Amino acid sequence: MSNHDTDALAQKYDEIITETREIMIRKNHDYGDSWREMRIPSITDQILVKVRRIQQLEGLAAKGEKSKVAEGRLSEYRDILNYCVFAIIKLREQGIEE
């Protein structure tokens, strides 16, 4: 991968991280820091629920059908990203630095 490709990838990565962070801030404003009360296995379960939703949405798309809910795959992926960050925060708070 050339430096140009790496730079372009890094820029896209940063844009996605920024967008996802902004969504997290808005959701925390509306819903509070409910993730703080969750145990790591509960966060893992939430990630798995999101993965299952993505699979269901992809199944609908493969059949040429549309979802009847407003949130789509991108929203689910962003939620997974945020849950992963929350899990890392909680692991670090527990002193786990693998």
pLDDT digits (tens, 9 = 90+) for 41-83: 999 999 999 999 999 999 998 998 888 876 889 999 999 999 9
Note down the domain range covering 78. Answer: 3-93
Please indicate, yes or no, if residue 44 is contained in any of the structural domains: yes
Nearest by Cα to 79 from 20, 26, 31, 29: 20
Mean pLDDT of 8-17: 96
Contact of 97 with 64, CB cutoff 8 Å: no
Please indicate, yes or no, if residue 98 is contained in any of the structural domains: no
Please indicate, yes or no, if residue 33 is contained in any of the structural domains: yes
What pLDDT, on a 0 to 100 scale, did the predictor assign at position 93? 95
Q: What is the mean pLDDT of the chain?
A: 93
Please state the domain count of the chain: 1
- The amino acid occupying position 67 is S
**pTM for this entry:** 0.86
Residue 98 above 90 pLDDT? no
The rounded Cα 55 to chain-centroid distance in angstroms is 15
